[in-house]
Structures are given as structure tokens and as C-alpha cells.
Amino acid sequence: MPGTVVLGAQWGDEGKGKITDLMADRMDIVVRFAGGNNAGHTVVCGEDEFKLHLMPSGILYPHITTVIGNGVVVNPKILLEEMDNLHERGISCEKLRISCNAHLVMPYHMAFDHLGELSLGNAKLGTTHRGIGPAYSDKADRMGMRVQDLLDDKIFRTKLETALERKNAILVKAFDQEPFDVDSIMTEYMGYAERLAPHIEDTSLLLHKALEDGKKVLFEGAQGTLLDLDHGTYPFVTSSSPTIGGVFTGTGVGPTHVEKVLGVAKAYVTRVGYGPFPTEQQNEIGDKLGQMGVEFGTTTGRKRRCGWLDVVLLRYAARVNGLTGIALTKLDVLSAFDRLKVCVGYSYQGKIYHDFPPHQTIFHKCEPEYLEVPGWQSDITDITERDDLPEEALRYVEFVEEAAGVPVEIVSVGPKRTQTIITREEYKPAAEEGPYLYREDFDTPATNA
């Protein structure tokens, strides 16, 4: 069972890039299973900076085959820009494989994402405006354009005409916007088709064969558990399944191929966009977490919302995903505090909830029940053995694993590979220091900045 899953256990931006990179050099294949270019991280290598939104992290390693699974929604323009950017810096995308069943993000999806947010006014979700929700809606509505449609211009045109008939009617009549033109989209997308064709295949079959042959496959998550369409804080969620179920529907392999499910969680919590967040600190504590943790997208500078660790949510993520381990990231950020708080329950109308509440109103209106623990207030960024952590930091990690009921197998204490405590042998990278530095910096939309 050589499949390993790395997924987000909170609201995204947990530091999955670094954890994926740690494991990548032992992998044969890295596959993305959900989301689209709403995700993203910056990869730094010496003077070079790469911004990756759609490309699986493994692309930077020549031995790895990277796969964009059928559960991903692909904006071909963005994908080709990323491929060109990598090519310019000498990185080959020859081994990139794109599922023939993945859906395409179309120009009208971005228009509807934007208009949808505008029409919601104060009730807006804070989406990334990348067309993700509308692309998944069309998929469910059986109106979507798939990657395989790029290979047949007649089918592409027929489907596009059908879709545009409906889309343009809404755009013109409901939103007073210009309609989209079939011919110009055809010209644009057929241009993409020519370049992407050599990469398109049945990736379910490819993955199945690889797993049967004992090849090591890493399933790379995007976003996080609380942004899941079913299990997250609906409607303040993304439109796909970043949780474990998404791995299987989003790649076309069965669950018996997966051996380890690693949930990545920050030692505190952040979220972008709107929606409930019980442990949020809209005060100097939140500001300090944001500053110490550099919690803003580097492109727009939009601040992430920050708050104390919530172990109720972590236990929920462990349950929903069947986590076998946790990677706890940015523990070093907490070194700045003399006292720390951890949310262990929610209080609402005289009742304490120790599990994720069954009704969203409770989650919206509850008061967090905190446990206060001492901080360690010392530099832990050079520690590589768990037992060398200051006692308070070790207690904090142990508390997390007790509360979540899952072992903490990786603790990250800084951005570099060497700044990582790894207790599970298989997760140790082959080389001490990798060529790349990952910065989780999901690029937020200017309209929300």
C-alpha cells in the first residue's frame, strides 16, 4: 500500500508545501486531487522564485511524475503560464500528466465568481475569484467542459455553444454584462489544446498501474478540511473535497492503496475569506501571530485572520479524514508568547460542546473554552530532536496528540528542511537539505485585499 496522503487539517495554508517537499524525494509520483488555482505557494531556490498554483509540488524534482487528477479544475491559461515559467528556468514539465476527466475553468466561470460575490454584498464568501465554484457547479450540473474535450474541436464547440446559450442569457439579462463569444473562446482554448495534448491521459489507469507496481505515490492536498464542501463551514467553503474522500473521487484509485494520511496543522489557526472562526484573535495577539508567522499573501499583502489552536477542530479533522499522523507546523511562532491558549470546547447557551457542533449557528455564536498553558519563550528553530524541545513545547505537542488522538509525527520549527523534527522514519527526506524552500502564500484576490 504505497500511497501517502498529505492534506490540510484546518482552513488551508497550513504549510503543506514544505511537508510535501520533505517527502517528495522518496516519491515516484505526486498527484493533486482537488481544487484549482485557488491554491498556491511560492517556491524559493537561491535567487529563483516560482509561483505554483496548479502544478503539483513534485514538478521540481526530475525523477517525479506529476499528475493533475480528475478532481482538479484546470485553468489551462494558468497551467501553461506555470509550465512556461518553469521551462524558462530549466525545469522540464515533460512528465506532467493531466487527467482527461478533469474539468476546465472557462472565462465565464471567473466572471460568474466575481459577479456572484458582488451580488452577495456583505454576505460574500471571500472567494479567490478564480472561477472555482462556478466550474465545480457546472460539473455537477453536467454543463462542464472537460480536459478531454480539448482533443476534439467539434465536441468542444458543441458543448461550448450549449453552455454559452445559458450563461450569456444570465449574464446579459440578470447582470447587464457583455455576452461571451464562442469563436474567441474556441480560438483561445484550441491554442491551449495543442500545447496540452501530449500531457493528457487516463491518469486513474496510470496511478493504478504505478501503485500495483509498488511505486510510491503522494496525494497532495490543497485547501483544508474546514473548507470542504461537505465537512467544512458551509457556505464559507471551497467547492471541492479537500478531505480524504476527495483523494479517491479526485484520482480514481481505491482506498486500499493508501497507507498513511498525514494531516497538516499549524500550531495556531489562520483563515482567509469570511466565515466563523471561534478562536480568532482580533487584537494584539492576532496581530502578533500574524507578524511572527508572516501571515499574509506576499502578492497582495492581505492579512490572514489569526487565532489560538483549536483542538476540537483538529480532532474533527482526524475523524473526518482518518488521519494516521499530524504534521504540526510553525511551532516556533508560538515562542513569542509567555502564555498560550488552546480551545478545548465551545460554550453555547449553557452547554459545552467537545465535538464540532451539529448546527452552524452554534459554531458561529459559541464562546471558546480555553485551556491556558505556559509558553517556552526560547528559540526552538534549531531543534531537530523532539526530546530536545523545551519542556513546555514538548507538553504542547503531547497535548495536541492526546486531544486529536493521533500522533504528531512531524514538527516544523522553521521554513528550512533542517528545521524539522521528524519522528517517523519513512518521512525523513533522503537529503538533509533540499534545493527548495516552500512558502505557503496562497495568492488572494485583489478585490478582497
Q: Are strands 258-266 and 325-329 parallel, antiparallel or unpaired?
A: parallel
- Interface residue with ligand IMP among 19, 27, 55, 132 (CB under 6 A) is 132
Beta-bridge partners for 43: 50, 438
Q: Are strands 325-329 and 408-412 parallel, antiparallel or unpaired?
A: parallel
Exposed, middle or buried: residue 101 (CB in 10 Å: 0-12, 13-18, 19+)?
Answer: middle
Map residues 370-409 to x or -, x wherever contact with ligand IMP holds by CB under 6 A. Answer: ----------------------------------------
Exposed, middle or buried: residue 238 (CB in 10 Å: 0-12, 13-18, 19+)?
Answer: buried
Cell readout for 432 is: 538533509
Q: Which residue has the cell 457583455?
A: 178
> Is 443 designated active site?
no
Closest CA to 257 of 300, 227, 218, 200: 218
Q: Does 135 bind ligand IMP (CB under 6 A)?
A: no
Q: Quick one: which segment of 8-16, 309-317, 387-395, 431-439 binds ligand IMP (CB under 6 A)?
A: 8-16
Q: Does 55 bind ligand IMP (CB under 6 A)?
A: no
Q: How far is the CB of 225 from ligand IMP (least distance, A)?
A: 12
Q: Does 39 bind ligand IMP (CB under 6 A)?
A: yes
Map residues 257-296 to x or -, x wherever contact with ligand IMP holds by CB under 6 A. Answer: ---------------xx-----------------------
In the bound state with ligand IMP, the residue whose beta carbon lies nearer, of 274 and 346, is: 274
In the bound state with ligand IMP, the residue whose beta carbon lies nearer, of 104 and 340, is: 104
Q: Does 126 bind ligand IMP (CB under 6 A)?
A: yes
Q: Does 324 bind ligand IMP (CB under 6 A)?
A: no
| Under 8 Å between Cβ of 67 and 203 | yes
Q: Does 133 bind ligand IMP (CB under 6 A)?
A: yes
> Is 231 designated active site?
no
| Amino acid at residue number 429 | P
Torsion angle in degrees (nearest 10) through CA of 213, 57, 294, 397? 0
CA 353, CA 344: separation in Å to the nearest integer? Answer: 9
Q: How far is the CB of 131 from ligand IMP (least distance, A)?
A: 8
Q: How far is the CB of 109 from ligand IMP (least distance, A)?
A: 10
Classify 109 as helix, strand or coil. helix
Q: Does 10 bind ligand IMP (CB under 6 A)?
A: no
| Under 8 Å between Cβ of 154 and 128 | no
In the bound state with ligand IMP, the residue whose beta carbon lies nearer, of 76 and 275, is: 275
**Number of alpha carbons in the 13 Å side-chain half-sphere of residue 433:** 9
Candidates 21, 41, 149, 443; catalytic one: 41
Candidates 13, 149, 441, 443; catalytic one: 13
Q: Does 52 bind ligand IMP (CB under 6 A)?
A: no
CA 421, CA 412: separation in Å to the nearest integer? Answer: 6
- Interface residue with ligand IMP among 37, 57, 99, 128 (CB under 6 A) is 128
In the bound state with ligand IMP, the residue whose beta carbon lies nearer, of 244 and 397, is: 244
CA 17, CA 32: separation in Å to the nearest integer? Answer: 12
- The binding site for ligand IMP (CB under 6 A) comprises 11-13, 38-39, 125-128, 130, 132-133, 222-223, 227, 236, 238-239, 272-273, 442
Catalytic residues: 13, 41
